[in-house]
């Protein structure tokens, strides 16, 4: 049972690391060019990273996508931890 757990966990960790690397690239290359516009704290990209670290790549990615969908003029604002 333990060996099967690590067969699944290893690729999940690698997938999460690739997702985080992509978001960090966005933060370094694209975000400085755009005006600040996030309504939430932490920002959407930082929220995505925290969600992937806390919940894993599948559920963390879903939470990050849902957060981006909520980030609109009619959505909420303020402190929103993952």
Q: Residue 31: CB partners within 8 Å, gap ≥ 6?
A: 45
Does 78 have pLDDT greater than 70?
yes
Query: What is the pTM assigned to this prediction?
Result: 0.81
The residue written with tokens 């790549």 in the block is: 57
Which tokens is 76 given?
């909420």
What average pLDDT does this structure show over 60-66?
92
Residue pLDDT, tens place only, 5-42: 655 677 888 888 899 999 999 999 998 898 888 888 88
pLDDT at 46: 92
Domain boundaries, the chain: 2-79
Taking all residues of the chain, what is their mean pLDDT, rounded to a whole number? 85
């Amino acid at each position: 049972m333990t060996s099967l757990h690590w067969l699944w966990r290893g690729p999940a960790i690698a997938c999460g690391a690739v997702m985080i690397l992509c978001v960090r690239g966005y933060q370094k290359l694209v975000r400085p060019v755009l005006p600040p516009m996030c309504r939430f704290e932490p920002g959407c990209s930082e929220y995505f990273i925290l969600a992937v670290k806390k919940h894993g790549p599948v559920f963390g990615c879903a939470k990050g996508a849902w957060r981006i969908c909520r980030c609109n003029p009619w959505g909420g604002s303020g402190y929103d931890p993952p």
